């Protein structure tokens, strides 16, 4: 693990806002409005060289944020690493990060966590991304293609309308930035369920896949865990829970699993889907 002051190479908004009809309501307390999604490239060749797909870094987000914020390693190159992140309208840390300019320095430490693990005999890899869940899966796709795997990506994003009834701009990660050499299937959901969710695509691809990797909201995992098609299938999921230190010290991210208590920052964030007790989970994180 390395702690560095990383220079911002570039930082730009690549998706526009998502304003939700039911944001901050009792009906869907996990729903927050998003100012947009940003792609930031940071100069940190040592972290980039050490990072594995599925690992994350902690970012110190300015003096007003006491705790660092966790973000998945989204992409790497010889100079550094990219993060792809949602900026919450009421999120202190993500607002701060979105306002960094080229040449600014950002304190980060990592890489942290276990990352995804590909079985040696697996060839066909199915990646399932719910919304911003695409963040760690782009890195996994790029590395897997380099190693000769066949990769299919199923991705879903919200198509719900604004409180005014007008449409939100597309929430799909830009096509031209997706890794080359993968097969992509896209679906858009809406609040009233008129269109499809990413898991609706899954049954058509399960038989093709040797291994499945997913990143998305808890509700997506809960549904996946009940799908008969996925019973006894090797599925790894990346968990997003509120985290304190990111380094195994504070125990703030402890979860209860079928194999006992685990720290998401150290034992995860990637777990076997069958290891989790999904019925004990709340929408915005774990309940132990």
Ligand X SMILES: Cc1cc2nc3c(=O)[nH]c(=O)nc-3n(C[C@H](O)[C@H](O)[C@H](O)COP(=O)(O)OP(=O)(O)OC[C@H]3O[C@@H](n4cnc5c(N)ncnc54)[C@H](O)[C@@H]3O)c2cc1C
Rule CB under 6 A: which residues touch ligand X? 56, 67, 69-72, 83-86, 88, 91-94, 132, 135, 240-243, 269
CB of 64 to ligand X, least distance (A): 9
| Residue 245 C-beta: closest distance to ligand X, Å | 10
Q: Would you say 34 or 209 has its CB closer to ligand X?
A: 34
Instruction: Report yes or no: 235 and 284 within 8 Å, Cβ to Cβ.
Output: no
Nearer to ligand X, 134 or 235 (CB): 134
Q: How far is the CB of 104 from ligand X (least distance, A)?
A: 17
Inter-residue contact 62 to 91 (CB < 8 Å): no
CB of 85 to ligand X, least distance (A): 4
As measured in angstroms, the least distance from the Cβ of 17 to ligand X is: 14
CB of 67 to ligand X, least distance (A): 4
Phi-psi region of 131 (alpha: psi -120 to 50; beta: other; left: phi over 0): left
CB closer to ligand X out of 143 and 240? 240
Nearer to ligand X, 67 or 225 (CB): 67
Nearer to ligand X, 72 or 188 (CB): 72
Q: Which is nearer to ligand X, 56 or 221 (CB)?
A: 56
């Amino acid at each position: 693990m390395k702690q560095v002051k990383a220079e911002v190479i570039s930082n730009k908004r690549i998706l526009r806002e998502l304003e939700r009809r039911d944001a901050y309501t009792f009906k869907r307390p996990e729903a927050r409005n998003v100012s947009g999604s940003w792609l930031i490239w940071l100069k940190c060749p040592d972290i980039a060289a050490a990072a594995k797909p599925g690992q994350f870094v902690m970012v110190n987000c300015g003096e007003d944020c006491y705790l660092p914020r966790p973000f998945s390693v989204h992409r790497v190159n010889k100079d550094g690493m990219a993060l792809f992140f949602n900026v919450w309208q009421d999120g202190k840390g993500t607002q701060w990060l979105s306002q960094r300019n080229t040449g600014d320095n950002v304190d980060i430490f990592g890489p942290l966590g276990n990352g995804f693990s590909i079985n040696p005999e697996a060839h066909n890899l199915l990646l399932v991304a719910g919304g911003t869940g695409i963040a760690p899966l782009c890195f996994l796709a790029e590395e897997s293609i380099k190693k000769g795997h066949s990769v299919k990506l199923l991705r879903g994003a919200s198509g719900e309308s604004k409180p005014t009834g007008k449409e939100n701009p597309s929430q799909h990660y830009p096509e031209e930035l997706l890794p080359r050499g993968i097969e992509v299937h896209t679906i858009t959901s809406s609040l009233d369920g008129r269109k499809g969710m990413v898991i609706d695509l899954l049954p058509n691809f399960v038989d093709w896949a040797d291994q499945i990797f997913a990143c998305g909201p808890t509700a997506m995992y809960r549904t996946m865990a009940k799908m008969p098609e996925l019973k006894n299938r090797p599925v790894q999921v990346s968990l997003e829970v509120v985290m304190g230190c990111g380094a195994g010290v504070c125990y703030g991210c402890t979860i209860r699993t079928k194999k006992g208590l685990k720290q998401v920052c150290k034992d995860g964030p990637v777990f076997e889907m069958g290891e989790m007790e999904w019925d004990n989970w709340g929408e915005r994180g774990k309940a132990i």
